[in-house]
């Protein structure tokens, strides 16, 4: 019987660990099973461009079944681990739970939004972590322009044209920058709206944005955003969002139809329910070979794990570039373990980071050099085009980018697809027009 490696999570860790195993395992040496709720891996660094409509949502994902030809795929979510029997329980998309035995188990379930105890936030806000959220936000922003353009109610118009993002890390900055760029780009098609009526607010509790890049680059990004009319509220917190009325710690109060919460992430809730070793932030505790504390046959990496950073000290940051390298090392360590060899420590020094600020605009640093403007924007695109797996996806992404150059952003709001049964229910007399 070949041994079985079960991988929970089909994101960066899951996909790249499975790819490594596909490459290194001999035929029949082990069976690899990937469990993920959806049959695709989301290329999250491209989500801001999905939100601005620069990329088609389908082009920013990697179809797992197409790339993992020698791996068994199970659509579902891991819900529990029995470490004695070496069995995981999986909740499939439909039907009763499935038990899967494992010889080695990899946990790469990633992270979710970490909410602060702000009144009204859960009801009024939305995160920016998934494909659905990014695609929804694009349609939502365009719908707000339609609402503002159609209404004669000044209060509704002001509320629709107010877009608030909380969190000035790279996710928040990229999201607000791309969406604001899109909204300005399409405004020519809305003769009843003025650019000056739109209010874009970025709220950050610290006294600077982008703490993961150097101060100088973060300053350049802040200057670019401010010059474009984005209202940066540094050293400020969202205190309440009850009924859509936002109250900030600087004393300001206003209504906004859009509240995006991008102020931090935490491991998926299920991680804390598995009875495995976690740190004070809920991350799985692993050693430098990515093996879970106190477990010989469980491994973890990526955003759900606290991976020791042997280069810079502390714990590795939750980034895709770290997750990919951890996955490759993890794949090698699994092969070594199956063959009775010693797993090796994970070691990686970040090569830099790029932050998109909209079309032709970005900041970044790589190999000790700093870039901004078109050069940084082009370097970022070249990097992601080279990284996204399969020639099929590369061409689709490059195609979207190419088409976007002369034509700009598309103004079509496809929000109705979020309610596909509406017309049918109306036809059946179950709801009004």
Ligand X SMILES: Cc1cc2nc3c(=O)[nH]c(=O)nc-3n(C[C@H](O)[C@H](O)[C@H](O)COP(=O)(O)OP(=O)(O)OC[C@H]3O[C@@H](n4cnc5c(N)ncnc54)[C@H](O)[C@@H]3O)c2cc1C
* Phi, psi at 36, each rounded to 5°: -150, 140
Which CB atom, from 161 or from 307, has the smaller least distance to ligand X? Answer: 307
Binding of ligand X by 167 (CB under 6 A): no
Size of site (CB under 6 A) for ligand X: 31
Using Cβ positions, the residue closest to ligand X within the complex turns out to be: 11
Q: How far apart are CA 120 and CA 239, in angstroms?
A: 10
Q: How far apart are the first and last CA of the chain?
A: 60
Which CB atom, from 119 or from 288, has the smaller least distance to ligand X? Answer: 288
To ligand X, the closest distance from the beta carbon of 189 in angstroms equals 27
Which CB atom, from 368 or from 406, has the smaller least distance to ligand X? Answer: 368
Binding of ligand X by 365 (CB under 6 A): no
Binding piece for ligand X, criterion CB under 6 A, among 42-50, 116-124, 136-144, 404-412: 42-50
Q: How far apart are CA 346 and CA 288, in angstroms?
A: 6
Q: Which two tokens stand for residue 287?
A: 């050693």
Binding of ligand X by 47 (CB under 6 A): yes
Sign of the four-CA dihedral 180, 184, 189, 191: positive
Angle between helices 170-186 and 215-227 (to 10 degrees): 20
Binding of ligand X by 45 (CB under 6 A): yes
Binding piece for ligand X, criterion CB under 6 A, among 30-38, 220-228, 229-237, 288-296: 30-38
Residue position matching structure tokens 């739970």 = 97
Q: How far apart are CA 322 and CA 301, in angstroms?
A: 9
**Among 54, 124, 129, 236, contact with ligand X (rule: CB under 6 A):** 129
Query: CA separation (Å) from 193 to 62, 148, 303?
Result: 38, 8, 41
In the chain, helix, strand, coil percent, each to 5?
A: 40, 25, 35
Binding piece for ligand X, criterion CB under 6 A, among 6-14, 214-222, 231-239, 405-413: 6-14
Binding piece for ligand X, criterion CB under 6 A, among 182-190, 314-322, 388-396, 397-405: 314-322
H or E element, residue 275: none
To ligand X, the closest distance from the beta carbon of 292 in angstroms equals 15
Which CB atom, from 194 or from 279, has the smaller least distance to ligand X? Answer: 279
Binding piece for ligand X, criterion CB under 6 A, among 36-44, 158-166, 181-189, 235-243: 36-44
At residue 293, the 3 state secondary structure works out as: coil
Binding piece for ligand X, criterion CB under 6 A, among 37-45, 66-74, 289-297, 419-427: 37-45
**Among 49, 178, 224, 303, contact with ligand X (rule: CB under 6 A):** 303
Q: How many CA atoms lie within 13 A of 247 on its CB side?
A: 9
Query: What's the DSSP call for residue 206?
Result: S
Which CB atom, from 174 or from 224, has the smaller least distance to ligand X? Answer: 174
Binding piece for ligand X, criterion CB under 6 A, among 66-74, 245-253, 301-309, 424-432: 301-309
Binding of ligand X by 17 (CB under 6 A): no
Binding of ligand X by 108 (CB under 6 A): yes
Q: Which two tokens stand for residue 141?
A: 């922003």
Binding of ligand X by 268 (CB under 6 A): yes
| Residue 319: alpha-carbon gap to chain centroid | 10
For 277-296, letters b (16+ CB in 10 Å) and e give bbeeebbbbbeebbbbeebe
Strands annotated E in 367-409: 369-372
To ligand X, the closest distance from the beta carbon of 16 in angstroms equals 8
Binding of ligand X by 136 (CB under 6 A): no
Chain residues that interact with ligand X, rule: CB under 6 A: 8-13, 35-37, 44-45, 47, 77-78, 108-110, 128-129, 170-171, 268, 270, 302-304, 318-321, 323
């Amino acid at each position: 019987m070949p041994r079985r490696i079960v991988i929970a999570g089909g994101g960066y860790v899951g996909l790249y660990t499975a790819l490594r195993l596909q490459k290194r395992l001999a035929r029949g040496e082990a069976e690899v099973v990937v469990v993920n709720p959806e049959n695709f891996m989301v290329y999250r660094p491209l989500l801001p461009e999905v939100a601005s409509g620069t990329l088609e949502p389908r082009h920013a994902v990697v179809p797992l079944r197409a790339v993992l030809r020698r791996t068994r795929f199970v659509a579902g979510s891991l819900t529990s681990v029995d470490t004695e029997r070496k069995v995981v329980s999986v909740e499939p998309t439909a039907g009763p739970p499935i038990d899967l035995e494992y010889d080695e188990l990899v946990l790469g379930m990633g992270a979710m939004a970490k909410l602060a105890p702000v009144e009204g936030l859960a009801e009024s806000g939305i995160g920016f972590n998934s494909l659905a959220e990014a695609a929804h936000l694009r349609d939502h922003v365009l719908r707000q322009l339609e609402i503002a353009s159609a209404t004669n109610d000044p209060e509704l118009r002001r509320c629709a044209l107010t877009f608030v993002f909380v969190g000035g890390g790279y996710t928040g900055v990229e999201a607000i920058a791309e969406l604001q760029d899109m909204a300005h780009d399409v405004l020519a098609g809305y003769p009843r709206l003025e650019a000056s009526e739109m209010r874009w607010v970025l709220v950050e509790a610290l006294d600077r944005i982008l703490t993961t890049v150097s101060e100088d680059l973060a300053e350049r990004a802040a200057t670019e955003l401010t010059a474009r009319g984005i209202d940066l509220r540094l050293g400020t917190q969202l205190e309440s969002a009850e009924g859509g009325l936002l109250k900030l710690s600087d004393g300001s109060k206003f209504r906004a139809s859009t509240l995006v919460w991008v102020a931090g992430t935490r491991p998926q809730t299920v991680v804390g329910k598995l009875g495995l070793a976690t740190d004070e932030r809920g991350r799985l505790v692993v050693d430098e070979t990515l093996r879970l504390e106190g477990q010989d046959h469980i491994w973890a990496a990526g955003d759900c794990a606290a991976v020791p950073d042997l280069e810079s000290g502390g714990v590795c940051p939750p980034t895709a570039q770290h997750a990919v390298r951890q996955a490759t090392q993890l794949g090698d360590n699994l092969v070594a373990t199956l063959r009775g060899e010693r797993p090796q420590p994970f070691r990686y020094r970040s090569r830099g980071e790029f932050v998109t600020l909209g079309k032709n605009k970005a900041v970044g640093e790589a190999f000790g050099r700093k870039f901004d403007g078109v050069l940084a924007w082009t370097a970022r695109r070249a990097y992601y085009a080279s990284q996204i797996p399969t020639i099929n996806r590369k061409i689709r992404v490059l195609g979207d980018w190419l088409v976007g150059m002369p034509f700009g952003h598309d103004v079509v709001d496809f929000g109705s697809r979020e309610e596909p049964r509406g017309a049918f229910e109306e036809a059946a007399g179950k709801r009004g027009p």
